[in-house]
C-alpha cells in the first residue's frame, strides 16, 4: 500500500533538498570524499602515462604478440575439444 507523499517514510528515504541532492548528509559527504579520491587516482594515472611517454604508445612488443598467439591457440584447442 502506498503512503501519502507527506508521510514520515519520505523523510526516512531522504527528500530532495533545494540543491537537488538526495539522501542524508553523511552519504553526501561520503560521495564527495569518494569523488575526491577518484579524481586523485585519475591524476596519479595521468602522471604515470606521461612518465611513460609517447614513444611506447600504440606499439606492440614481442610479449604482446606471444600473448595473442597463446590466447588464440588456447581458445582454438578449447573450442575444438568442446565441440568434438
State how many domains the chain has: 1
User: Does the pLDDT value for residue 3 go beyond 70?
Assistant: no
Is the pTM of the predicted complex or chain greater than 0.95? Answer: no
Does residue 38 lie in a domain region? yes
Please tell me the predicted confidence (pLDDT) of residue 19.
Answer: 53
Domain for residue 3, yes or no?
A: no
Does 8 map to a domain?
Answer: no
The dihedrals phi and psi of 53, each to the nearest 5 degrees, come to 90, 170
pLDDT for 13-61, tens place per residue?
A: 555 555 555 667 777 777 777 788 888 898 898 888 888 776 666 778 8
**E strand map for 1-84:** none
| pLDDT value at residue 68 | 97
With respect to residue 14, please indicate whether it lies within any of the assigned structural domains: no
47 domain residue, yes or no: yes
42 lies in which domain range? 22-83
Amino acid at each position: 500500500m502506498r503512503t501519502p507523499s507527506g508521510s514520515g517514510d519520505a523523510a526516512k528515504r531522504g527528500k530532495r533538498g533545494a540543491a537537488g541532492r538526495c539522501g542524508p548528509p553523511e552519504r553526501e559527504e561520503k560521495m564527495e570524499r569518494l569523488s575526491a579520491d577518484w579524481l586523485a587516482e585519475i591524476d596519479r594515472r595521468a602522471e604515470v602515462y606521461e612518465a611513460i611517454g609517447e614513444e611506447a604508445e600504440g606499439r606492440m612488443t614481442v610479449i604482446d604478440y606471444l600473448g595473442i598467439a597463446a590466447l588464440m591457440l588456447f581458445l582454438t584447442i578449447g573450442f575444438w575439444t568442446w565441440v568434438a
